[in-house]
Chains A and B, each alone.
Chain A
Amino acid sequence: MEMSEILVVLMGSSITMMGWSLIYKENVFYRVIEHLIIGLMTGYTAYTTLTILINNILMPLITDGAYLNIVPIIFGLLLLTRLSKDYAWLSRWGIAALGGIGTGVAIKGVVQAQISNQILATALSFTAGDGLTNFNNILVFVGVLTSISYFFFTFGPNTSTGKILLPLGKVGRLFLMATFGAVIGSDVLCNGAFLLERMEYITTVQYAWVPAVIALALIAYDVLKSRASA
């Protein structure tokens, strides 16, 4: 391993330790990393955005005569008028264009992808498959129907329709809770994966363990120091 590679490994591992140090307590090393990440992301975002703007919007306008590119440039510049109190109202044009185009593009695919196909996927046979498949299909149907009932607020609980919907909604709440539980559970496991990747780095890459030992020594020193002063 060359010296430059060792330095990169030590730097990577040190940054990890500085980030993790928050688990022990709030400290200056963690703050440094926090600011470093924000600074890096801001710089990278500005650089990438400007490069794309120049390559794909400005250059075709100048060299290929793509005059229509003036329209997004104007709308983009209008967004910057928010910096002025007198002309901030002009930024609404840019926001309106963004919102309008975004909504229009999104709506185009909603019907097939998120409505008709989802309804078809719920309308399953209760008798065509084996016992487990049929049970699963019934579960999907009941789950969808009762979960939708939970969000039906049109009828009050004392109306005749409301009296039917209320118990259905209570069953739907169970399905919703099960779903949220699964989502939170998988979220926890997802976050755990970040730990796994770093642990792999520290335990398998040569010299990456050095900052970990230094961090542990610093924590031990701090614990002993605070006990002595107490």
Chain B
Amino acid sequence: MNLLEQITRGKIQRKWIFIAMFVVVAIPYISPMGLPIPLSESTTNLYDVLNEIPDGSTVMFSFDFGPGVWAESGPMAVALVNAIFEKNLNIIFVTFVLDGPPMVDRVLKLSKYYNELEYGVDYCNLGYIPGFETGMGAFAADVNIVKVDYHGNQVNDLEIMDGIETLEDITAIFLVNSTSFDHYFRQWYGRGLPMMMGVQSSGVMLLMPYVQSGMVDGYLNSIRGAAELELLIGIPGSGVKRMDATSMMYVYSTVLTILAQFGLRRQDKEEI
């Protein structure tokens, strides 16, 4: 049985599919193709709303992802942080997942503005808030439930926290997450704050009901969204770098899916 027959009959060994994928994905890194990156409405909406926020305002950024999903969430977080600091806004970082706090530091170090920022004035990392949805609700009602930040400083001593008592005292909510979205809207929606987010491609479908109902002011769709925002703010990063490989992988996955259909149909016929 030759290779084509193996593929169309669904008999191919798994390792060959992966080896081919490695090759397909490696090509754009070795020889970049420069495929065009058209801007989507979701990203331009986010950029427009971000630009409407008054300079010097304080926003909250919920980092609800860990190192396991860095590949997708990392570029989005870096692009968003760059866009926020470019607008001269201050950020209060929080996280409701256990492995989120180190991600804040990692993203900040990759930010273009890292060396120009002062901790406690331009940004702070309040660290992990336990309880997930309960924690979100409690934090929205009283920011002072967090006494000590991720680096061991008293939260009351941080200049950025002056005058911030509840969620209503901040100007906008940003988040990048690796879970579903229901709890964010249950706890934070309806307070008159714009909500913008970076979404993994697997989560976009779950976000759609909230986009359709106008509850989301803008979102980044995975690597592509990150690449689009990087282009909009003029700071190319991992998103732009990965777009060629992402496109190649999408094409490869689509071809495999079509070939698998032939294989399944053949199998069905043979069983009959």
Interface residues of A (CB under 8 A from B): 23-24, 41, 44-45, 48-49, 52, 55-56, 59-60, 101-102, 105-106, 108-110, 112-114, 117-118, 120-121, 140, 179, 182-183, 186-190, 192-200, 203-204
User: Which of A52, A101, A193, A197: most chain B CB closer than 10 A?
Assistant: A193
Range class of the B interface residue count: 35 or more
Report the separation of the CA atoms of residues A203 and B71 in the bound assembly, to the nearest whole angstrom: 15
Report the separation of the CA atoms of residues A199 and B137 in the bound assembly, to the nearest whole angstrom: 39
Indicate if the CB atoms of A203 and B202 lie closer than 8 Å.
no
Indicate if the CB atoms of A113 and B189 lie closer than 8 Å.
yes
Indicate if the CB atoms of A52 and B201 lie closer than 8 Å.
no
Indicate if the CB atoms of A109 and B209 lie closer than 8 Å.
no
The answer to the question of B83 belonging to the interface, with a C-beta cut-off of 8 Å to chain A, is no
The residues in B between 202 and 248 inclusive whose CB is less than 8 angstroms from any CB of A are 202-206, 209-210, 212-215, 222-223, 238, 241-242, 245-246
Besides A118-B213, A200-B245, 15 other A-B contacts (C-beta < 8 A)? A23-B18, A48-B101, A48-B128, A52-B128, A56-B146, A106-B183, A113-B210, A117-B213, A121-B212, A186-B204, A193-B72, A196-B223, A197-B72, A197-B242, A198-B71
Report the separation of the CA atoms of residues A218 and B80 in the bound assembly, to the nearest whole angstrom: 42
- Residues in A with CB closer than 8 Å to B222 are 189-190, 193
- Residues in B with CB closer than 8 Å to A110 are 186
Closest 8 CB pairs of A and B: A109-B186, A197-B71, A121-B213, A190-B202, A113-B185, A55-B148, A203-B29, A187-B202
Indicate if the CB atoms of A55 and B70 lie closer than 8 Å.
no
Report the separation of the CA atoms of residues A108 and B98 in the bound assembly, to the nearest whole angstrom: 25
What's the dominant secondary structure at chain B's contact region?
helix
Write the nearest CB–CB distance from A131 to chain B, whole angstroms. Answer: 19
Interface residues of B (CB under 8 A from A): 14-15, 18, 21-22, 25-26, 29-30, 69-72, 74, 98-99, 101, 127-128, 130, 133-134, 137-138, 145-148, 152, 182-183, 185-187, 189-190, 200-206, 209-210, 212-215, 222-223, 238, 241-242, 245-246, 249-250, 253
Number of A-B contacts (CB under 8 A): 142
- Residues in B with CB closer than 8 Å to A190 are 72, 200-203, 222
Write the nearest CB–CB distance from A118 to chain B, whole angstroms. Answer: 6
Indicate if the CB atoms of A52 and B130 lie closer than 8 Å.
yes
Report the separation of the CA atoms of residues A195 and B22 in the bound assembly, to the nearest whole angstrom: 8
Indicate if the CB atoms of B245 and A114 lie closer than 8 Å.
no
Report the separation of the CA atoms of residues A158 and B26 in the bound assembly, to the nearest whole angstrom: 58
Interchain Cβ contacts under 8 Å between A and B, 18 examples: A23-B14, A48-B98, A106-B183, A113-B185, A114-B185, A114-B186, A117-B215, A189-B249, A190-B201, A192-B253, A194-B69, A195-B22, A196-B25, A197-B70, A197-B71, A198-B71, A199-B22, A199-B26
Indicate if the CB atoms of A193 and B246 lie closer than 8 Å.
yes
Indicate if the CB atoms of A186 and B201 lie closer than 8 Å.
yes
- Residues in B with CB closer than 8 Å to A112 are 189-190
Select which of A56, A121, A186, A204 is within 8 A of B29 by beta carbon. Answer: A204
Report the separation of the CA atoms of residues A31 and B29 in the bound assembly, to the nearest whole angstrom: 30
Report the separation of the CA atoms of residues A113 and B191 in the bound assembly, to the nearest whole angstrom: 12
Select which of B99, B127, B186, B214 is within 8 A of A44 by beta carbon. Answer: B99
